[in-house]
Structure 1
Amino acid sequence: MTALTLLLLLGAFVLVNCVQRDSMTKEELTELFNSPVRTAERVVRAKQNMPDSARSYPFTHSGVRVTMEDGNQYLIHNVPKLGPVVTPVENMSNRWRVKKRETLNVDGHATLGQIRAAAGTEYRPLKNNCHGASKRMMKETRRRMGDRKERKASRKRSG
């Protein structure tokens, strides 16, 4: 079993136990985690009990909102006691805002599971908080987009 498979299974476990316990089967979760992402956006909101004017760490919470090829949207964010979770956007409050210059047109170059895996496996206030996790998810998405573009270019050169 590869590390990525293990992280995907852990992510599915977290998703089942935190969000979708009664509504998705293991097969549906696997399909979701293997589904291509159309766009990824880094989003931020003021922490609970903070005014919306709070715009920086440590007064904010961040995550990545992904739009799937089928149009469904999910929020991936790292939370205390649970670690990284995936939740449908219907569960997001209206306080979330897209970070400027933090939207990527992924066009299927990464899956939800690959992006989520970059968030790590647990929440740690100093080393793996929501901000570090969301930045790593965006960095991994950029890397995967570049990898695909580079592979296509090298195939054209050799073909």
Structure 2
Amino acid sequence: LQCTVRSTGPLSYDLSGSDLTKLYNKRVHLAEAMRRPLENFPFRLGYISHCGVRVTLADGSRWLIHKGGGYGISSQTVATDAGHMSSNWEVSSKRTKHLRGTKTVSDLVGAGGPNYRLFGDNCHNACTNIMNQ
């Protein structure tokens, strides 16, 4: 499992080793489906957008779980510090779920799936699978 930040260059990592393991074992209390415009688009419209799930943990920290081609190494669904989110992200209407610690970050990353395909296994499919946990 990887915790990555998508950038214009090679992958960079916020966490690794035991710190990454600790994050993946933390309990999720709130999950919010989020959307932003695709890169190079000034708007978001349905599937012409990028989808992710922002999670809030017991310690108040927030992480974005999202999926994309080339986002990770062993999995294309990754968790990134929500502090890296631009102001273009918005909560999708009526897509908030109070998990109250019943799921871990690892559970939700796993629900997003390891592989990415533009049709049938993309960021929107991952969001749906994560929010259905």
Which TM-score tier does this pair reach, normalised by the shorter chain?
Answer: 0.7 to 0.9
TM-score (norm 2): 0.86
Q: For 1:76-95, what per-residue CA distance to the aligned partner results, in whole angstroms no more than 9, with x for missing partners? A: 11011231111001111110
Structure 1 residues not aligned, in runs of 5+ = 1-10, 141-159
Q: Equivalent residue for 1:135?
A: 128
The match for 1:15 is 3
Classify 1:39/1:128 alpha carbon distance in 2 versus 1 (closer, same or farther; 3 Å): same
1:61-109 CA distance string (max 9 Å, x none): 1010000110010001101123111100111111011111100111101
- Residues 132, 16 of structure 1: CA spacing in aligned structure 2 closer, same or farther, 3 A cutoff? closer
Deviation at 1:16, TM superposition (A): 5.9
Determine the structure 2 residue equivalent to 1:31. Answer: 22
Q: Is the 8 A contact 1:45 1:55 kept in 2?
A: no
Residues in 1 aligned to 2:41 and 2:69: alpha-carbon distance in whole angstroms? 17
Identical positions, percent: 32
Q: Deviations over 1:98-156 (max 9, x none)?
A: 1111001111011111011001102111121000011101112xxxxxxxxxxxxxxxx
| TM superposition score normalised by structure 1 | 0.73
Distance 1:89 1:107 in 2: 19
* Structure ranking higher in strand proportion: 2
- Mapped to 2, the partners of 1:72 and 1:105 lie a distance apart of 15
Q: Counterpart of 2:46?
A: 56
Which letter maps to 1:33? Y
From 102, 113, 125, the equivalent of 1:120 is: 113
Larger relative helix fraction = 1
| Aligned-residue CA RMSD (Å) | 1.6
Q: Is the Cα–Cα contact under 8 Å of residues 69 and 116 in structure 2 kept in the other structure?
A: yes
Q: Distance in 1 between matches of 2:3 and 2:58?
A: 20
Confirm or deny: 8 A CA contact 1:19 1:87 kept in the other structure.
no
How many residues are matched?
A: 124
